[in-house]
Amino acid sequence: MKQTVTSRVSLIYTLSVRNLWRQRRRNTILLVSVISAITGVVVLNSLVRGMQLQMVDQVVYNLNGHITLHAPDYRSDPAITRGFLEDSDEFAHKLESVNLAGWATRIKVPAVVMSERETRGVQIIGIDPSQEHISIVSDLRIEGSFLTDSTDNRIVLGRALLTQLRTKIGHRIVVVMQDSNNKSIEVGFQIAGVYDSNSEGMEKHVIFAGKHALQQFLKSESITELSLRFNTRLIPPGILESISQSFPNLEAVDWKNIDPILAFMYESVNAMVYVWLAIVFTALVFGLMNTFITAVLERTHEIGLCKSMGMKSSLVLYQVTTESLIIMFLGLIGGLLLSWGVLQLIGDGIDLSAFAAGVEMLNLAPKIRPAVVWQDVSIVVIATIFLALTASLYPAIRAVRLDPLVALRD
């Protein structure tokens, strides 16, 4: 039995390869179109995935983290009264088994900032600079000086806000906030420095102060958030639930909840990747089918001959299908190799700084770096095999249905 199968497989393979070689010009064109389609899908998907992951990176990096823990009612009323006490030892203990790049505790409250000339609404963020290696703070371009530690009672503004307030580094500004007794307080801060970022929105609306200094002004020992950043670009599955259980008195929200518009865009990109794949492969299936129908029609006589000599219909079907699988397998290998080459060429990223406004609106980095998602590549591989079988099915059935006698007369 095994010998029979081996012998027939060998026959099918020989016939398929020779038939493909016989029409080498046509099949080369077909192969090139398969390679192009697979390369197009893999490279474009990698770019889209790169954009998608960079959007997530930006949100995570922009002082949100992958997961943020708040007091349950903080998000509806972000005030110091909705804070919780910081217990670093307890946090470290609960997070020791989680694969984190780091965590940071912060105070985020709304405030009004006034210079001698202008007034603006902002968010004041009390930070401990030593914890902020996980956020954009460590990468901000600073003119003047940044906060030295969490007790530093100076302030750092964005350049856009500095311009709006028409003030300077070293000058004092007044920040109006609500303290832990729900009383408005006015605190004078000296401007330590000014930061530049890729986001004008951030420059206009985010100001930094020392966390402990801010606690003193707000008459509170609380923080308003514990921000976690993982070593991976996305949150590992199941980890949000596990962290929620570890901090039962806090509300754990992931970046999707923090930025639902971005989450929608993220999911839309997921759908887009598969729609694009479906469109390209559907177009390809008709091209392939057409070629294989032609191949079967050209070989009607030979197929009839094989059947008349005792070749079973199943073997005729396997032969046509094998030809399709060989073309698609070669196309797949070629497509993946070419994709690898193209991705090496554009691996450093595509510069989008010419579209700065759009880039900022989409929360993108100024350079799009492709990201190969192996799940997408696996889907391309599976889809290619499925495509090969689908495209050859109709021609193969036509071949199977040929009456050997009629075919021999052809």
Partner 1 sequence: MATEILTLNNVSRTYGKEATQVHALTDVSLSINKGEFVSIVGPSGCGKSTLLNIMGALDQPTRGEVRFDGNSLGEMSRGELTDLRLQKFGFVFQAFNLLPVLTAAENVQFVLQLLGFSRPERQTETKEVLDALGLADVADRPATELSGGQQQRVAIARALVGEPALLFADEPSANLDSTSTRELCELIRQINTERGITIVTATHDPLVKGYTNRSIHLEDGRVVEDKSIP
Closest CA to 225 of 338, 93, 91, 329: 91
Q: Please tell me whether residue 307 binds partner 1 under the rule CB under 8 A.
A: yes
Q: How many angstroms separate the most distant Cα atoms in the chain? A: 100
Q: Which of the ranges 154-162, 227-235, 304-312, 375-383 carries the binding residues for partner 1, by CB under 8 A?
A: 304-312
**Interacting positions 312-331 with partner 1 (CB under 8 A):** 312-313, 315
Which one of the spans 31-39, 135-143, 344-352, 402-410 is the region binding partner 1 (CB under 8 A)? 402-410
Q: Which is nearer to partner 1, 133 or 301 (CB)?
A: 301
Identity of the residue numbered 250:
L
Q: Binding to partner 1 by residue 308, rule CB under 8 A?
A: yes
User: Using CB under 8 A as the criterion, what x/- string covers residues 97-126 for binding partner 1?
Assistant: ------------------------------
Examine residue 4 and tell whether it contacts partner 1 (CB under 8 A).
Answer: yes
| Least Cβ distance, residue 25 to partner 1 (angstroms) | 16
Close Cβ partners of 365 (under 8 Å, ≥ 6 residues apart): 54, 57, 58, 198, 359
Asked if 3 touches partner 1 (CB under 8 A), the answer is yes
Which of 171, 398 has the CB closer to partner 1?
Answer: 398
One of 261, 271, 309, 357 touching partner 1 (CB under 8 A) = 309
Structure tokens at 403: 């009456």
Please tell me the number of Cα atoms within 13 Å of 316 on its side-chain side.
28
Euclidean distance between CA atoms 193 and 160, whole angstroms: 13
3-state secondary structure (DSSP) of residue 341? helix
Please give the backbone phi and psi of residue 325, each rounded to the nearest 5 degrees, phi first. Answer: -65, -40
Minimum CB–partner distance for residue 318 and partner 1 (Å): 12
Number of residues that bind partner 1 (CB under 8 A): 29
The window from 19-27, 98-106, 120-128, 334-342 that contacts partner 1 (CB under 8 A) reads 19-27
Our finding on whether 295 is near partner 1 (CB under 8 A) is no
Output the smallest distance, CB 410 to partner 1, in A. Answer: 11
Hey, what amino acid is at 80?
I
Q: Are 165 and 113 in contact (CB under 8 A)?
A: yes
Residue 311 in the binding site for partner 1 (CB under 8 A): yes
Binding mask 55-94 for partner 1 (x = CB under 8 A): ----------------------------------------
Q: Which stretch binds partner 1 (CB under 8 A): 179-187, 306-314, 325-333, 357-365?
A: 306-314
Q: Which of 22, 141, 219, 233 binds partner 1 (CB under 8 A)?
A: 22
DSSP labels for 208-271?
A: EEEHHHHHHHHT--EESEEEEEESSSSPPTTHHHHHHHH-TTSEEEEHHHH-HHHHHHHHHHHH
3-state SS assignment for residue 185: strand
Q: Does 35 bind partner 1 (CB under 8 A)?
A: no
In this structure, how many other beta carbons lie within 10 angstroms of the beta carbon of residue 7? Answer: 10
